[in-house]
Amino acid sequence: MPQAWSRPENRPLSRRMHREKCRPLVRLASGAPVFANGAVTAAMAYAFSSAARSSQPKGEWIFPEGGSMDMNDYDTVMTNGILGDRDQFVLAVNAEQIPGYFNPSSGALGDIFESIGQKFFGWAGDSLAAGFSQGLAGVDHPMRIIAHSQGTLTVANAAKYYGLPQGSTLIMRSPAISRWRANSAANAIGGSMQYVQPYGDIANIYAPSLNPVRWMSGFRDVFCGACTHTANGLP
Amino acid sequence: MRMLFKLPSMLLLTLLMGCNMSGCGMAGTEPFVDAEKDEQGNLRLLDTPRMWQNWTENVDFRVSNEVAGRRPPGGKSTWNDFWLRLIDENREARENAQKYINYIIEKRQEAGLPPLESYPE
């Protein structure tokens, strides 16, 4: 079995990254994104931001076996969605010679809870996005960033709240975010975006669009067991 | 207030239904690659339409980079080294590996790039 090289996330944070990691607290304290039901929202936001701050970045950067471990030597990276399988991810990293940010699974419910936190409270702190951004912090050229499903939440939050290489191309496959939000993430880094959301993908339900037919088509995937969604995954 | 709970509930419900009906179960995977284990327990990437599409996209992107004179990825000193490494990694890792390897050879040829040195060995 081929093994990949992985880099532990033990580098100290740069001043910029540290400021960015602390931003959620500041924003929460300032009360900026509080809704009418402020108490509940703030409580949930606090829970997500605490989880994000209290732990090391959850994801793991994996590099192709025998390849460079300097991110500047690559032009493409990828990240997976929920219920990730590390062996499959390592195989993909080696077969494509593309480094990847592996998002380990905490079980279906844990992953779904995490996704909800990233989707609705990403501004309050997102440890996956922080780790993703940290891995690309020293890159001096635009990257091609491929993300699937929950990975699109990680990438969008990384772009908006933590920073990614300027001018990068975000390839969002079966995104769990709307086209507007994906565009907004790409704009935040002065980059471009490919939104790959097939009709009939379950992700249409929770990545709302103004097209009701597209939204409704997502329910078809519920009955085939998210077959369209999983068939649109990462290399 | 109701909307706050409605959105996450909708997300939770659809994901749970999808996962449950897919047979992935609560301990399964959401595969981002199509792969299978052989008799020895080794993982292998399957030759499916989406795997082929992903491959062609990545090879096309890299061939265009080579044509543009950009440096090869992975810290390799030459594009020849990079392609040989990629071919080597895919020989055992994929179903119908030769089809995938041939695509590299053909696309480079179409782009007017020189044949790979030391291939085939």
Minimal CA–CA distance to A139: which of A73, A80, A79, A189? A73
Averaged pLDDT for residues A69-75 = 95
Q: What is the ipTM metric for this complex?
A: 0.78
Asked if B24 and B38 sit in the same domain, the reply is: no
What would the pLDDT profile of A166-203 be if each residue is shown by its tens digit? Answer: 999 999 988 888 888 999 999 999 999 998 877 667 77
**What domains lie within chain A, and their CATH numbers?**
14-230 (3.40.50)
According to the model, what pLDDT value does residue B120 have? 78
Asked if B24 and B65 sit in the same domain, the reply is: no
For the ranges A74-83, B38-47, B108-117, the maximum mean pLDDT occurs at B108-117
Mutate to test the interface with B, among A206, A223, A228, A234 (most CBs of B within 10 A): A206
SS (H, E, C) chain A: CCCCEEECCCCCCCHHHHHHHHHHHHHHHHCCCCCCCHHHHHHHHHHHHHHHHHCCCCCEEEECCCCCCCHHHCCEEEECCCCCCHHHHHHHHHHHCCCEEECCCCCHHHHHHHHHHHHHHHHHCCHHHHHHHHHCCCCCCCCEEEEECHHHHHHHHHHHHHCCCCCCEEEEECCCCCHHHHHHHHHHCCCEEEEECCCCCCHHHHCCCCCHHHHHHHHHHHHHCCHHHHCCCCC
Answer yes or no: do A87 and B28 touch at CB < 8 A: no
B31 to chain A: which residues are within 8 Å by CB? 85, 88, 230, 233
Asked if B77 and B88 sit in the same domain, the reply is: yes
**Total domains, chain B:** 2
Minimal CA–CA distance to A187: which of A207, A171, A170, A208? A170
Asked if B10 and B38 sit in the same domain, the reply is: no
Asked if B49 and B67 sit in the same domain, the reply is: yes
Residue-range definition of the domain harbouring residue B71: 31-121
Asked if B60 and B74 sit in the same domain, the reply is: yes
Cα(B26)–Cα(A89) distance, integer angstroms: 19
According to the model, what pLDDT value does residue A10 have? 45
A202 to chain B: which residues are within 8 Å by CB? 14-15, 18
According to the model, what pLDDT value does residue B2 have? 62
Answer yes or no: do A84 and B22 touch at CB < 8 A: no
Asked if B70 and B121 sit in the same domain, the reply is: yes
Name the pTM for this structure.
0.75
Identify which of A35, A144, A224 has the shortest CB distance to residue B61.
Answer: A144
Whether residue B114 is predicted with pLDDT greater than 80 in this model: the reply is yes
Q: What are phi and psi of B47, to 5 degrees?
A: -90, 90
What would the pLDDT profile of A13-50 be if each residue is shown by its tens digit? Answer: 444 554 444 343 333 333 333 344 555 555 555 555 56
Identify which of B16, B50, B58 has the shortest CB distance to residue A231.
Answer: B50
